[in-house]
Chains A and B, each alone.
Chain A
Amino acid sequence: MFGYSLSEVGNIFVMQGFSGLSLFSVLLLMALGLAVIFGQMGVINMAHGEFMAIGAYTTVLLSNIAVSYDFVQSYFVFAIIAAFIVAFIIGYLVEYGLIRHLYKRPLDTLLATWGLSLIMQQIFRSIFGAKEVSATLPDWLLGSFKLTPNIDIPINGVFVMVLTLIVTGGVFVFMYRSRWGLRMRATVQNRVMAGAVGINTKRVDRVTFALGCGIAGVAGAAFTTIASTGPTTGSLYIVDSFMVVVLGGTASLIGTIASAFGIAQTQSILQFFMTSSMGKVATLLTIVVIFMMRPEGLFSSKVRK
């Protein structure tokens, strides 16, 4: 096929598959954050990409400090945690200052958060400059290892994947096994009753939003292992993340994961065989068509309307 031998095609699929996996990981982390917020509050945060950028810039900052103080090999894990915390805090403040006033108006929230994203992008530009910046990655993240003589797996790709699995697992545990997660789910399912039994639904919303932003921050940290960061980096993945949420639904974690996986893989593979832009077009078009055929998403269960 296409002038490649069968084994070569197999290798290509595996390698594209892995490059797709890095994309998948970042996408999944972004979509997780979005899905948590959207599922909880019906709010779509157009500035979500900028929260990812916050995480990325935090990592870059810490990387610069690490270079000056010579602990490049060990700073990265701290950077990830820091990215989460910074994004979480800023998300908390944003919810308090902006989002909570707009709960009954999801369309207006779209517009307000778009405005927020413009402002945030400009802040990045003013502080970090318009050019892209990179984090200095520790040695153990660089390079690749040979799975077989013909297949090269980049280490950072594997790291990002593992990170994503940990975060996804963490979210699962948090949502389904912790007290706070219980409060969150109660508020989603029946806000009035949750309030009536003493759950501070406003606090829950705030924490949920901040959590979603924090996860985006981690996505940003992961992102620095793949590419450099600029003020508009956030908008790279935002539409794709929306598509993941739209297709996968917000009801189940599995839906989000499967959706992210499907979209990332489709895009990687299509982009290999067509030009980069046509591959993107084909992927998006496929998603839109699938959505039009099954608007309730691929994974939602039938609920009494």
Chain B
Amino acid sequence: MNSLAKKLLDGREGAVSLALLAAIILIVLPLLLDPFRIGLVGKYITYAFVAVSLVLLWGHGGILSLGQGMFFGLGGYAMAMFLKLEASDPISTKIQTTPGIPDFMDWNQITAIPWFWQPFQSLTLTLLAILLVPTFFAFIIGYAMFKRRVGGVYFAIITQAITLILSILIIGQQGYTGGVNGITDLKTLLGWDIRTDSARYVLYYLNALLLIGCIMLSHYILSSKFGMMLLAMRDKEERVRFSGYDVANFKIFIFCVSAMISAIGGAMFTLQVGFMSPSFVGIVPSIEMVIFAAVGGRMSLIGAVYGTLLVSFGKTMFSETYPELWLFLMGGLFIAVVMFFPNGLAGVYNKYKNKIGFLRRLSESDKETPTVAAPVPANSVTAKPQGETA
């Protein structure tokens, strides 16, 4: 396997896992499920972006952010603003007091599109905003925190506070943001109707492919020296600093990457589901996305996707039939994962995979070959015995 492929796919074992995931979400699920359910799964896949971002930031970087919702929301609202402006053309809104502006602005006696909405009339600017605004936000926060060596619990709480600030702001400024109801009634993307069943499928595939792309990008980052240093910083920050690394820069970078990935998820959410609201921005959704990553495996990018799908399925199923039970279950899930399964499903898989012949051979074929010493023949007396992990 050539080295670029190795980096993007995380070795042979990683390639197989990714292929399996791709097969499930690209082939199996669309065959099994009706359009409505595919839309649901598409929604879950957008959450998975955030879970993946947390694998980078939290699992590998050791930085717990309880506010990824803010980046999800920034991306989502950017896309929503573009789509809303498109849906608010003067003809469809001619019954409004002021035609040509979004309905909620009209209800709040606003008579012109505010200046910060203007850029979202262009798709290019919107796409740029989705990628750059959350990243910039993350840069500011990261710079202020990491350069001052703020980490751990304090950082988590501050991100929680910031996401709360953002959600209160959005809810409070009804006229400009649609308030607690969010931005709804989105219809078309450059003329293409996003509400039809076929659109749902197209967006689903776009979603899934983008997610796979983000996973490959993350693999690349993690398999480079940067990834190794990130792990080293997580466990021994001082040592890394004294090896000549500016630790803050590394943390800021990974925080920005995680913000960007979450934002892409948010934007896809708006497209897939057709609206955006502050209930995806605040404290509760942010921490739910942490549990997705925790259940799937905070160290495993692919595990995080499975975790998201599983917990989201569970939530949809349970909260309809047994809503009270669901909250108990979710609370219990937090506790159980932390106490008994710190590496989530992926951790359980890793523990038992060596019992299954071909899985063990697959993972061993990825182990780094001796770097400098000459290879030792297997039947030589001096060869070290292959450790059989239980």
Contact = CB atoms under 8 A, between A and B. Distances in A.
Interface of A: 38, 42, 44, 98, 101-102, 105-112, 114-122, 125-126, 239, 242-243, 246, 275, 277-278, 280-281, 284-285, 287-288, 291-292, 295
A115 B342 CA distance: 15
B212 interface: no
A81 B304 CA distance: 46
A295 B335 contact: no
Given A118-B327, A288-B158, 8 more contacts: A98-B339, A111-B287, A111-B290, A112-B338, A119-B331, A275-B172, A284-B164, A295-B148
Contacts of B157: 44, 242-243, 246
B339 A242 contact: no
A101 B324 CA distance: 27
A126 B326 CA distance: 13
A281 B335 contact: no
A225 B210 CA distance: 53
B291 interface: yes
A103 B338 CA distance: 12
A284 B156 contact: no
Given A119-B328, A281-B168, A246 B335 contact: no
24 contacts: A38-B153, A44-B153, A101-B339, A108-B338, A110-B66, A110-B153, A116-B331, A116-B334, A117-B331, A118-B327, A118-B328, A119-B327, A120-B331, A122-B328, A239-B160, A239-B161, A239-B164, A242-B157, A281-B168, A281-B172, A288-B162, A291-B158, A295-B150, A295-B154
B351 to A, nearest CB: 19
Contact of B165 (A98, A126, A288): A288
Nearest to A283: B165
A291 B154 CA distance: 10
Interface of B: 58, 62, 64, 66, 144-145, 148-150, 152-154, 156-158, 160-162, 164-165, 168-169, 171-172, 283, 287, 290-291, 294, 324, 327-328, 330-335, 337-339, 342
A75 B342 CA distance: 47
B364 to A, nearest CB: 31
A112 B152 contact: no
A243 B162 CA distance: 11
Contact of A284 (B165, B328, B333): B165
B58 to A, nearest CB: 8
B139 to A, nearest CB: 13
B161 A288 contact: yes
Contacts of A284: 161, 164-165, 168
B64 A115 contact: no
A58 B48 CA distance: 41
A110 B156 contact: yes
A115 B333 contact: yes
A116 to B, nearest CB: 6
B287 to A, nearest CB: 6
A115 B165 contact: no
Contacts of B149: 295
B192 to A, nearest CB: 36
